[in-house]
Structure 1
Amino acid sequence: MRIFYNLGWFFKQEKYRYILGVLFLMVSSALSLIPPYVVGVLVDGIRKRSLNPLLLSEWIGFLILIGIIYYFTGYIWRQFIFGTSVLLGQQLRNTLYRHFTKLSPDFYQKHRIGDLMAHATNDINAVQQAAGDGILTLVDSITMGAMVILTMVVMINWKLTIIALLPMPVMALLTMHYGNLLHKRFGVAQEAFSDLNDKVQENVSGVRVVKAFGEEEAQIESFRVASKDVVAKNMAVAKVDALFDPTITLIVAICFFLALIFGSRYVILGTMTLGQLTSFTLYLGQLVWPMLAFGFLFNTVERGSASYDRIQRLLAIQPVIVSKEGASAVTPSGDVCYTIPDFRYPGSPDSVLQAIDFTIHQGETLGIVGKTGAGKTTLLRLLLREFDLQDGRIEIGGTSIDAVTLEALRRAIGYVPQDHILFSATLSENIAFARPEASQEEIERVARLANIHEDILNFPDGYATVVGERGVTLSGGQKQRISIARALLADPEILIFDDSLSAVDARTEVAILQALKKERHNKTTMIAAHRLSAVEHADLILVLADGRIAERGTHDQLLANQGWYAEMYAHQQLESLVSEGGRSNG
């Protein structure tokens, strides 16, 4: 029953709804006690030949009235109890989603998407059932059972009641044991479902890769194994679950057997009437539901408790990157200054960046180049405070980035990442993601700047074209340009391109860079790239090697140095000439 204690905050929050629901449920339970009593009276009336048509009509009319009231009270308590449990599900989902948005990148490196989805669906549904069906079965099993037993004791025969209920303690002990088993096995089953959910998510997202490598059969077999594991662990749950009904049914049958044996004896001895025995057996039949409800209660609350524990463990994880106390909410602007003696990712002994020291003035463009793994993306992600520095400082306009709130910092920065994430929405909505209130004219203006406007017009529905999940219906270059348009619409103080022009051709790249230079003449742009043509116009170019600045300067200065930059530039220029020659010859 620990789940009810854990959900005490919600019951307190919605106390009036639950109080009304419980009151109407108790009224329904009380009304259900009337028909068995009336049947007993009618049986005795028939036996004594005192029942006449008028009296029978009155009793039938009374039962119809009770039925109508019972109908309305049942409708009302369901609205309050089940309706309020739906509010719990909504609140938990909102809390969990809000929590996900605040957690730091290292959290998502350790937790799988499929597992997080299982928490937000199956686990919350199990908790919601505990707050709905659980409350119903708890209240109904106690109130209905107590009312029935009290009626049997007071109005019929207390001795027969004690005799008939002798097997009850055995049922209570067995259902408690089943409940403990269920809690453990259901937690394991939920973990297996999370693994399966993650498997599906990965394969659907990577379906092109799976098909490209011809791994369909291997992945199907892998899924079959994972699915079989889920079935096996849920079967373990079902085996315990299946014990409740037979156990309760057996106990109830023993109760009926005792009632009929000893009740018949009391009728023969004249201490009970036949009508009272009839009413007693009907009341005993009404005890079947409270007994079954007691079993359902353990089933429901143990499932809910296991799921709530999983959700609470997730909510207990605190974001590593937070706004410092007293941080300014003013959007920073000005020169960007990096001073990083050493940076390592949390938990890693290896340095990723070392001896980083440079300044880019407001309105200038910074180019960052180097081999794969040189530290380009890390350098940019530190400006976004995706990770905090252990040593050193990054400033914008003379203010350390940790002296402003995360919201203020990220308002100042527009980020176009390597992995271009688009949402299942229209092209207009994807571009206007950071500014949903933007007009269609503003959306089209930045689309022109990103050189994607004409492509969009060629789609059947233009800007109203719905993008498939993660932009699956678009080419790599189109996704990149839509991401660029999205960042431009936010009009940030600092615009970051993290190798965001790699999928566009050289002519499109030139057009985008020229538009950026004209549009952002007073604002800072930072471009990390493998293709050096993307940064040759930059005011400062950094060449990273093994996390250090190996070269720095303008394009002309770096060519004059005859270092890695000059060598790579000559190599890429030769590749470009060969490519253009091949096309012209074709």
Structure 2
Amino acid sequence: MKELKHLNKYFRKYGLKLFIGIIITIIARVFQLVMPSYVKNSIEVVEQFIRGEIAESAARNLLLEYILIIVGAALLSGFFTFLMRQTIINVSRYIEFDLKNEVYDHYQVLNLDFYKRNRTGDLMNRISEDVTQVRMYAGPAIMYGIQTLTLFVCLIPLMFIKAPTIAFYALVPLPVLSILIYQISRIIHKRSTVVQEFLSRLSTFAQESFSGVSVIKAYNLEPQLNGEMGTLAHEGKDKSMDLAKVNAWFFPLMILLIGISNLCVIYVGGQQYLSGEIATFGIIAEFILYVNMLTWPVAIVGWLTSIVQRAEASQKRINEFLKIEPEIQNEVEGHTPIQGQVEFDKVSFTYSDTNIEALKEVSFRVNAGETVAILGKTGSGKSTVLELITRLYDTTSGEIRIDGVPIRQLNLKDLRSSIGTVPQDAFLFSDSIRNNIKFGKEEASEEELIDVAKKAVVHNNIMGFSKTYDTVLGERGITLSGGQKQRVSIARALLRDPEIYLFDDCLSAVDTETEEEILSNLKKASRNRTTFIVSHRVSSAKNADRIIVLEDGQILQEGTHDLLVEQEGYYKELYMHQLSEKET
């Protein structure tokens, strides 16, 4: 159970509630033990009346008294059982809540390479299915374990005190039951683990299919995907059926062995009654109730073992992720305000997952308030520059300085809070347009919201929707066109009003006329703000204070638009080519 030690901090956190729940559990079981004795006493009263040892009125009064005690004990046992579930099971839900938050918070700080190596379906399965299995250990396993222990400690000695021979024969089948249930539970554990791992595959396949539905339809791949889904469904059915076949043995075995124990009690008790070893037939009825009270706890021993095994396996999968240390660490706790000066000093960077060297000793300096455009062919390292500024990655060698301070010596939260970024692939959440824009500044007023939407030239589009800003978007913003998604992302960044703007080819899906209007608005909005514009278009770069041309991770050209168009090279060729296209 070493993996489950991770939960000890939560047990300490909710220790008082757990302790109260355990005490209530013991009280509930003690009240349950009252009933069999009074059932025996009731039968003895009837026997005494039949033998004429007691008057009818006295017998009636005693029966009524015993029945009231039985009903009262049952009601109290039920009441305390309710309280037991309200404490222990509630604690397990609190632990589930805390553990899910812990896993999700850890997901948030892990670097991008982690998400490249792991599939979304598996990540979701660990935070849902695996945490659910752990909750079963933190709640039901503890609750039923205390119940079982209480009954064993109280009931078995009581049975041997009252009738040792009957107790022996009544309990003989129960260890056999426990062993069989344990063996079945081991098989269930193995097969349920297989089913759980398969669910991760199925979740991943479904999630990718839904996310890529436009590509699937465009390439007419529905029949192929349906076939693959059918194959997965049949595989899942076979694995689930293997599990169901084993589960089907659980209750029949339990009922069989309960029956054998009851037969043992009736036969041995009957023999002893006939021979005069026991004075009353009520003891047999009492032992039948004892056996039935013990059967489920005995069977549960194997089931609890299975729960612990499944929880151990699930917690191990969770711990695998929780033990991963994020490569990007916030090394500074204090507040570090950002002005906007950015300097790259011989920066090189290699992606660990592909081993591609994206930047090679790149050096430049951008003063606060300047606008810099970065151009280059695909794969030249343009987007990598922006990812390093936001510290999504750390440099392989060289140093990035913000306001003259090494970027690792800045508070990570302050750094990213001072940056407004518009990624190349605009990502929008399945929420209203209003909330997507306000994602950058939740407390923004309606006037601010409309103002940035107008600057991003998307306000008129939004007002054309039936619910305007309250229009709920599909997953990843699929409701909007590519250009609309980019402009909503630009509005989100503008609303934040940061010290540094990073625009990563964010106008690629916008027509030239709209692009010029947005660029004009951006120039006004980003005045006195450091701005990086990554683009393939000269039109997006020509008004920048400085233009950097990258090729194969190195700076090929650097200067103003007027200077670069006079030089032979990539920028002039690109400018002339795009100018001729525009004239055409």
Aligned to 1:219: 225
Q: What is the one-letter code of the residue matched to 1:27?
A: I
Q: Please say if 1:298 is aligned against 2:301.
A: no
Distance in 2 (CA, whole Å) between partners of 1:193 and 1:132 is 24
Cα contact 2:35–2:74 (8 A) shared by 1: no
Alignment of 1:420-435 (within 5 A): 420-435=426-441
Cα contact 2:186–2:306 (8 A) shared by 1: no
Aligned to 1:113: 120
Aligned to 2:39: 39
Aligned to 1:562: 568
CA shift, 1:91, in A, is 0.5
Q: What is the one-letter code of the residue matched to 2:357?
A: S
Superimposed CA distance per residue, residues 219-266 of structure 1 (whole angstroms, 9 cap, x where no aligned partner): 122222223333333344444444433443343333223222221111
Cα contact 2:494–2:525 (8 A) shared by 1: no
* Stretches of structure 2 lacking an aligned partner (at least 5 in a row): none
Instruction: Give the alignment partner of residue 56 of structure 1, picking from 63, 66, 71.
Output: 63
Q: What is the one-letter code of the residue matched to 2:305?
A: F
Alignment of 1:348-359 (within 5 A): 348-359=354-365
Alignment of 1:182-581 (within 5 A): 182-272=188-278, 273-324=280-331, 326=332, 329-346=335-352, 348-578=354-584
Q: Secondary structure of the equivalent of 1:561?
A: coil
Q: Secondary structure of the equivalent of 2:544?
A: coil
* 1:348 to 1:470, Cα distance in 2 relative to 1, 3 A: closer
Q: What is the one-letter code of the residue matched to 2:527?
A: H
Distance in 2 (CA, whole Å) between partners of 1:440 and 1:503 is 27
Aligned to 1:150: 157
Distance in 1 (CA, whole Å) between partners of 2:485 and 2:282 is 80
Cα contact 1:182–1:302 (8 A) shared by 2: no
Superimposed CA distance per residue, residues 500-559 of structure 1 (whole angstroms, 9 cap, x where no aligned partner): 010111111111111111122211110111122111111111111111112222112221
Distance in 2 (CA, whole Å) between partners of 1:519 and 1:345 is 34
Q: Secondary structure of the equivalent of 1:356?
A: strand
CA shift, 1:327, in A, is 6.4
Distance in 2 (CA, whole Å) between partners of 1:5 and 1:375 is 45
Cα contact 1:331–1:411 (8 A) shared by 2: no
Let me know the Cα RMSD of the aligned residues: 2.0
Cα contact 1:327–1:403 (8 A) shared by 2: no
Distance in 2 (CA, whole Å) between partners of 1:382 and 1:10 is 37
Q: What is the one-letter code of the residue matched to 2:23?
A: L
Cα contact 1:196–1:226 (8 A) shared by 2: yes
Cα contact 1:3–1:301 (8 A) shared by 2: no
Distance in 2 (CA, whole Å) between partners of 1:201 and 1:141 is 43
Distance in 1 (CA, whole Å) between partners of 2:370 and 2:288 is 90
Cα contact 1:414–1:487 (8 A) shared by 2: yes
Deviates more, 1:186-195 or 1:248-257: 248-257
Q: What is the one-letter code of the residue matched to 1:517?
A: K
CA shift, 1:23, in A, is 1.6
Aligned to 1:21: 21
Distance in 2 (CA, whole Å) between partners of 1:78 and 1:5 is 23
Q: Secondary structure of the equivalent of 1:308?
A: helix
* 1:231 to 1:311, Cα distance in 2 relative to 1, 3 A: farther
Superimposed CA distance per residue, residues 36-85 of structure 1 (whole angstroms, 9 cap, x where no aligned partner): 22221122221221362222222222223223322321221110011111
Superimposed CA distance per residue, residues 377-414 of structure 1 (whole angstroms, 9 cap, x where no aligned partner): 11111111111112111112211111102112112211
Distance in 2 (CA, whole Å) between partners of 1:182 and 1:7 is 24
Q: Secondary structure of the equivalent of 1:541?
A: strand
* 1:571 to 1:400, Cα distance in 2 relative to 1, 3 A: same
Superimposed CA distance per residue, residues 305-344 of structure 1 (whole angstroms, 9 cap, x where no aligned partner): 22111111111111111122x4653122243211235321
TM-score, normalisation: structure 1: 0.94
CA shift, 1:448, in A, is 1.3
Distance in 2 (CA, whole Å) between partners of 1:466 and 1:177 is 52
CA shift, 1:3, in A, is 7.0
Deviates more, 1:499-508 or 1:358-367: 358-367
* 1:373 to 1:534, Cα distance in 2 relative to 1, 3 A: same
Q: What is the one-letter code of the residue matched to 1:412?
A: S
Distance in 1 (CA, whole Å) between partners of 2:537 and 2:316 is 50
* 1:356 to 1:109, Cα distance in 2 relative to 1, 3 A: same
CA shift, 1:446, in A, is 1.1
* Stretches of structure 1 lacking an aligned partner (at least 5 in a row): 579-586
Q: What is the one-letter code of the residue matched to 1:84?
A: V
CA shift, 1:470, in A, is 1.3
**Aligned residue pairs: how many?**
576
* Identity within the alignment, %: 37
Q: What is the one-letter code of the residue matched to 1:493?
A: E
CA shift, 1:158, in A, is 1.5
Distance in 2 (CA, whole Å) between partners of 1:4 and 1:323 is 29
Q: Secondary structure of the equivalent of 2:387?
A: helix
Instruction: Give the alignment partner of residue 146 of structure 2, picking from 114, 139, 145.
Output: 139
* 1:318 to 1:545, Cα distance in 2 relative to 1, 3 A: same
Q: What is the one-letter code of the residue matched to 1:88?
A: I
Distance in 1 (CA, whole Å) between partners of 2:240 and 2:17 is 34
CA shift, 1:466, in A, is 1.8
Q: Secondary structure of the equivalent of 1:164?
A: helix
CA shift, 1:482, in A, is 0.8
Superimposed CA distance per residue, residues 271-321 of structure 1 (whole angstroms, 9 cap, x where no aligned partner): 112111111112112222212322332232222222111111111111111
Q: What is the one-letter code of the residue matched to 1:21?
A: G
* 1:81 to 1:277, Cα distance in 2 relative to 1, 3 A: same
Distance in 2 (CA, whole Å) between partners of 1:115 and 1:350 is 26
CA shift, 1:447, in A, is 1.1
Cα contact 2:4–2:315 (8 A) shared by 1: no
Q: What is the one-letter code of the residue matched to 1:23?
A: I
Deviates more, 1:136-145 or 1:530-539: 136-145
Distance in 2 (CA, whole Å) between partners of 1:334 and 1:417 is 19
